[in-house]
Structure 1
Amino acid sequence: MPEDAVRVAGDVPVALVAPDAGLSSLPAAVRGPETIEHIDLDGNALTSLPGWVARLGRLRVLSLYGNRLTAVPPELGELAALEHLGLGRNALTSVPAALWRLRRLRTLVLAENEITDLPPGLARLGALRMLDLAHNRLREVPAEVGDLPGLTDYLYLGDNGLTTVPASIGRLDRLGYLSLAENRLTALPASIGGMAALHELRAHDNRLTELPETIGRLAGLRELHLRNNRLTALPESIGGLRGLRHLDLRGNPLERLPESVVRLTRLTHLDLRATRLTALPAGLAELPLLEKLDLRWLKLGEVPACVGPLRERGCVVLL
């Protein structure tokens, strides 16, 4: 263990910081002092955690990203002061329900594991602000996810095997960022229109064939990423996304754009590459903030009328 790994304050050990140190077990140096508040052992070679870690009653941060853990002891649920738990990029196939006893937890990272399902009780994490379950093997998201009132920052569900999203997700009306990318979704729930605080939605690389009309209620949405789906049309309600800056529709079999897109007056980037559009609404030329319009690999019969005016005022148009 590095000599300076144990940090002290007033001669009292308060932290163990030894990332990428080649450690294969939790150092015994933290077993005795119950004053430890912060442990950062990212990028080591830990294969297990001892049950005695539960004695660290003041521990607020436990970061174990990029180790070799295949399981975590249920005793972790006794760390009543814990606010951040990072278990990403390990070899976990499940997590104990005891983790749901961590009532002060604000950040939970379980990404890049082999987790196939979650035990009941997730909704008990009432203080949780960020939940990362991306890059696992989840087949479904528990409906309890909608009962996390403190979830405000991020919800990462990308790169799993999800075929549906529970309607309860619409109750997360304080959530700012939602990633559903790289799953097997064919539809988004209509309840998504209730996510009033959402500013970024990533649903690219799925199998979406349509968007719910309610998506137009997301007036604060700034980025909408939908590339590589199966969308042939967009709902007219898309014009309700008055705060939208970035719209990525690349790789969809879109045959037309609704006229309502001309109401997206804050749009700066519009990506229409590799769609099936043969014409564009003339009103695109009136979008005052558009900086980039990507039309590559479209089979346009002629150069759309909007291209000239857009280029004249400095918008980059790629054909």
Structure 2
Amino acid sequence: MLARTVNLGGTGLSRVDPALREHTSLRELYLHDNALTTLPEWLGDFTGLRILDLSHQPLKSLPDSLGRLERLEFLYVSDLDITDLPEALGELHELRYLGATDNGLASVPASLGRLTQLIELRLYGNRLTELPDAYGDLRALRELHLDRNAIERLPATFDQLTELRVLSLRANALTEFPVQLSRLPLLRHLDLRANRLTRLPDLPQNAFPALEKLDLRWLDLPVVPEWVHALTTRGCAVYRTAA
């Protein structure tokens, strides 16, 4: 019987052996922590794959054929030498998790907004300055990690992310508070540390109805509006840098 799982992680591979193509029933493929710089287009033939880990190696690009992995649920493409993601990833309609951290991404494709089953998206440690408006269509998204980028604004469409629980924006370049987040009914953790915010807007005292943690450390905020105090009274942990 052909293997359902192949783990070649950390084995020093510099090329993918064509003999792997025989494993037509593969469900999990681990190629992380190797020395691969390219990938064969035939990886897209493993249409039954659920998990694919390509992280931590000097890959220069990802093949468009990955868009044919129609049953893929978990994709790990962190710590590579890539500067973009293929538009074809928007065809992975069963994807639940995408980790593309610590790369050189200056932008991400709008096509990812079609990933309506996506629950967790990790893009921290890149060079992003903004996100496409289409990401407001990620209606199943629960966690979004964007730390250590250069994001200046969030799409106005983010008020549509009604399942979002965790949003981390530490160490970005926000100058205006993303008011649209205050209307998210399930948002619990919001991290805004080390941005360029110098003021917070006036919001209704019922803003952020489910928030449990708000991190405002390392921001220059001479005035804190009443809604922040209302959060504290409600039991939300609000972290600020001591004056």
Note the alpha carbon deviations across 1:180-216, whole angstroms, 9 max, x for none: 1000000110101100100000000000011000000
Bigger RCO (CA 8 Å, 6+ sep): 2
Residue type of the alignment partner of 1:267 = L
Aligned residues: 239
Q: Give the structure-1-normalised TM-score.
A: 0.73
Where in structure 2 are there 5+ consecutive unaligned residues? none
The offset of 1:82, in angstroms, is 0.9
Root mean square deviation of aligned Cα? 1.2
Kindly indicate whether the alpha-carbon contact (under 8 Å) linking 1:240 and 1:263 is maintained by their aligned counterparts in 2. Answer: no
Equivalences for residues 32-47 of structure 1 within 5 A: none
1:271 to 186, 191, 202: 191
The offset of 1:91, in angstroms, is 1.2
The offset of 1:284, in angstroms, is 7.5
Question: 2: distance between equivalents of 1:270 and 1:112?
Answer: 32
1:301 to 194, 199, 222: 222
Following superposition, which runs of at least 4 residues in structure 1 exceed 4 angstroms of deviation? none
The offset of 1:265, in angstroms, is 1.3
Question: Residue in 2 aligned with 1:242?
Answer: 162
The offset of 1:281, in angstroms, is 3.7
Kindly indicate whether the alpha-carbon contact (under 8 Å) linking 2:76 and 2:99 is maintained by their aligned counterparts in 1. Answer: yes
The offset of 1:97, in angstroms, is 2.8
Question: Residue in 2 aligned with 1:208?
Answer: 128
Question: 2: distance between equivalents of 1:258 and 1:284?
Answer: 14
1:188 aligns with 2:108: yes
Question: Residue in 2 aligned with 1:110?
Answer: 31
The offset of 1:120, in angstroms, is 2.0
1:174 aligns with 2:94: yes
Q: What SS does the corresponding residue of 1:139 show, helix, strand or coil?
A: coil
Question: 2: distance between equivalents of 1:110 and 1:278?
Answer: 45
Question: 1: distance between equivalents of 2:93 and 2:194?
Answer: 34
Residue type of the alignment partner of 1:288 = P
1:311 aligns with 2:232: yes
Question: 2: distance between equivalents of 1:102 and 1:281?
Answer: 56
The offset of 1:138, in angstroms, is 0.8
Equivalences for residues 78-89 of structure 1 within 5 A: 81-89=2-10
What's the % identity of the aligned pairs? Answer: 44
Q: Is the radius of gyration larger for structure 1 or structure 2?
A: 1
Kindly indicate whether the alpha-carbon contact (under 8 Å) linking 2:200 and 2:224 is maintained by their aligned counterparts in 1. Answer: no
Note the alpha carbon deviations across 1:17-76, whole angstroms, 9 max, x for none: xxxxxxxxxxxxxxxxxxxxxxxxxxxxxxxxxxxxxxxxx3xxxxxxxxxxxxxxxxxx
1:149 to 45, 70, 76: 70
Kindly indicate whether the alpha-carbon contact (under 8 Å) linking 2:170 and 2:191 is maintained by their aligned counterparts in 1. Answer: yes
Note the alpha carbon deviations across 1:143-190, whole angstroms, 9 max, x for none: 0111101112x1000010110101010011110000010000001101
